[in-house]
Amino acid sequence: MKALIVDDEPVARKVLREELEVVGSVEIVGEADNGASALDLIRLRLPDVVFLDLQMPVMGGFEVVKQLRGGSHLPSIVIVTAYDRYAIDAFEAGAIDYLLKPVGQERLAHAVERVRKTVIRKPEVAEQLARLQEIAEPVTDRRTRKVVGRVGEEYFLLNVSEVFAFQAEGELVWIITAKQKYLATQTLRSLQERLQSTTFRRVHRSALVNMDHVRKMTHLSSQRWLVTLNNGMELIVSKRQARTIRELLS
């Protein structure tokens, strides 16, 4: 499997090359330190996969993907970056994988295996690249359909409909689903802004709840309510939000 490494940091390229050599069965056909050079090498070397950094001079990673549109060769894209805030865009748009620097050996091997399975199904690669290109295009409601949750070094793309609630604990925000708890990649305020046109409502300064998963509301006092979700989770509704929640359920 032919691979191209694209990163503006020489040390980062060297480390990734050495790690890929350990993984084995991967032939590194070139390296580029910016997006423009990457495009030239993609057309010349025809790699199966591009390990692509996002923030680079001359041309960034997302712009590289956009420029591949209409090309005869469509490589799989694996994002390699130091910033997890791009995970939502990358996963939702169809990136094969999203690796955080420094990339662990086991995690990299897992990504290579994902790519290997995709390379033999080229129509899927074309579809994934097409979705990835949408990052550069305005899509009105794209951000309201998916959220990304993290468990260890793994990232999971979740439908908002399967999320019961978002709960903040200090600087951390947890995504609560029926069977799993994930670490969110955004603040509670950012999530509320993204989901303001959906069924999610702020019930407390530390909780955002999907009203579709509310089983019951229990009256505690004149201005206090207890919300019980379908998974049995209980949340106190703040005085400030109590009236809004009552109106939604009436």
What is the crossing angle of helices 105-119 and 122-133, to 10°?
Answer: 110
Count of beta carbons in the 10 Å neighbourhood of residue 83: 12
pTM score: 0.59
Strand order in the sheet with 207-210: 154-159, 146-151, 181-184, 172-177, 163-169, 207-210, 200-204
Average pLDDT over residues 57-69: 81
pLDDT band at 31 (very low <50, low <70, confident <90, very high): very high
Count of beta carbons in the 10 Å neighbourhood of residue 160: 19
pLDDT band at 139 (very low <50, low <70, confident <90, very high): very low
Measured CA to CA, the distance from residue 237 to residue 246 in angstroms comes to 10
Res 85: pLDDT: 74
End-to-end CA separation in angstroms for the chain: 59
Res 159: pLDDT: 82
Res 94: pLDDT: 57
Measured CA to CA, the distance from residue 129 to residue 68 in angstroms comes to 9
Average pLDDT over residues 177-202: 86
Res 214: pLDDT: 86
Q: Which of 122-126, 173-177, 235-239 has the lowest mean pLDDT?
A: 122-126
pLDDT band at 134 (very low <50, low <70, confident <90, very high): very low
Res 237: pLDDT: 82
**Is the pLDDT at 44 greater than 50, yes or no?**
yes
Report cis status (omega within 30 of 0) of the bond before 102: yes
Place of tokens 């390990």: 51
Res 127: pLDDT: 53
**Residue 227, beta-bridge partner list:** 217, 235
Percent of the chain's residues with pLDDT above 90: 27
Instruction: Return the H-helix or E-strand segment holding 148.
Output: strand 146-151
Structural domains of the chain in order of their starting residue, each with its CATH number: 2-136 (3.40.50.2300), 158-249 (2.40.50.1020)
Measured CA to CA, the distance from residue 214 to residue 227 in angstroms comes to 7
pLDDT band at 78 (very low <50, low <70, confident <90, very high): very high
**Is the pLDDT at 183 greater than 70, yes or no?**
yes
Residue 198 CA, chain-centre distance (Å), reads 19
Average pLDDT over residues 217-227: 76
The two tokens of residue 136 are 């550069």
Average pLDDT over residues 89-106: 78
The two tokens of residue 172 are 């951390």
Measured CA to CA, the distance from residue 76 to residue 95 in angstroms comes to 8
Res 76: pLDDT: 87
Average pLDDT over residues 39-60: 91
pLDDT digits (tens, 9 = 90+) for 143-165: 456 777 888 767 777 888 899 99
The two tokens of residue 111 are 């990504």
